Amino acid sequence: MATKKQGVIGILTGGGDVPGLNPAIRAVTIRALREGYQVIGLRRGWGGLLDIVRDKKADNSNNIQVLTEEVVNRAGRTGGTFLHTSRTNPGKVKKDRVPAQYQDKYTADVNDMTEEVLQNIDFLGIDYLIPIGGDDTLSYGVRMFQEGMKVVAIPKTMDNDVPGTDYCIGFSTCVTRTIELANSLRTVGGSHERIVVLEVFGRYAGFTAMLPAMAGAAHRCVIPEYKFDIERLTELLMQDRDRNPSNYSVVLVSEGAMFAGGEMVFSDSTTDAFGHMKLGGIGDLVSARIKELSPKYNNGRLVDTVNQKLGYLTRCGDPDAIDSIAPMAYGNLALDLILKKMHGRLVVLKNGRYDNIPIDIITSTKKTVNVDRFYNTDRLRPKFESFEMTPLFIMTSEG
């Protein structure tokens, strides 16, 4: 490790990748280096920090990377995260995921390895931690703060559901991609006179379906916050199709959406490190049921569907303008706090202004769509009213 000057900052990215992570890493690194700090990139999120071998002779290059302006400038305009990512929760490590150097010590089915993480942080000489992630990744950042670490968190998730902030890195690019892909698929829907069913990300919050629908990418959307009636959805989509000169209609389906009387649809029963089962299949079920019910609303004639899971196409590639600018600002905000000797904070956008709030907001509340204010439960689409004084992306933490 290089000689410590002002201090050492460790930065990591966890959870799903999104465009905008590399610009945030770049902003933190360039500003920190110029202020006299050393910056260590922790590979694969909390996973890399857990996997450190505490021996000065050990090769830990698979887990850490000393960051320079040359490194971050090269990656700073690209999507994804060059530090890589994982869904590791050191507080709940399954037996088969315990790193080799700890396997004699941790033999339970699920292990809290926070003690090792703290020792690894001390071994690396890290003074400040900057985790960039969603509520899962940042919830362990809250744990680190509670254990005495100096933590400044940056919100990232294409679902835009980290509490306390109006904006999370990755959301704008996700909305942009969803609109582009939905509009592209209109040519298929129109050519074949079908119903277009597009499944998008959104486990507990429907922002990634709501905003594109507001922008005109779809006639209807169904979201996790409101269990929908498939018959009503089919009826509305058939009406939309009849009114359309090209005889097609489009619905966006959040991956966490649920049929009335039903529950979330999972692809299998395995869980990740934060206890989440993998979602998948609601779009397939919605598509099949719409096709099955379509004759009821089309004089007995079947209407076929175009069924497409947008998935990773909405989170890949380069960041758009907002996901290039906001991460730059977030990174500099994090450095502002460190220079002021402040920690235990989450950098945020609130009502169009950059700010910071206590980090424990992440674990004390949830951020979901305010159905009463923004969602028309009869028409199964966003409400287009009362936008005055709302922020750029309409729906805030509180509303």
> Annotated catalytic sites, by residue?
159
Inter-residue contact 222 to 251 (CB < 8 Å): yes
Question: Alpha-carbon distance 339 to 138, whole Å?
Answer: 21
- Residue 245's alpha-carbon distances to 92, 96, 98, 149, 249, in angstroms, are 55, 57, 59, 61, 10
Contacts of 375 (CB under 8 A, 6+ apart): 206, 210, 223, 225, 226, 369, 381, 382, 383
Inter-residue contact 206 to 254 (CB < 8 Å): yes
- Residue 250's alpha-carbon distances to 159, 216, 227, 238, 272, in angstroms, are 21, 10, 19, 10, 32
Question: Alpha-carbon distance 329 to 161, whole Å?
Answer: 19
Burial of 277 (0-12, 13-18, 19+ CB in 10 A): middle
- Residue 332's alpha-carbon distances to 12, 62, 114, 288, in angstroms, are 16, 27, 28, 48
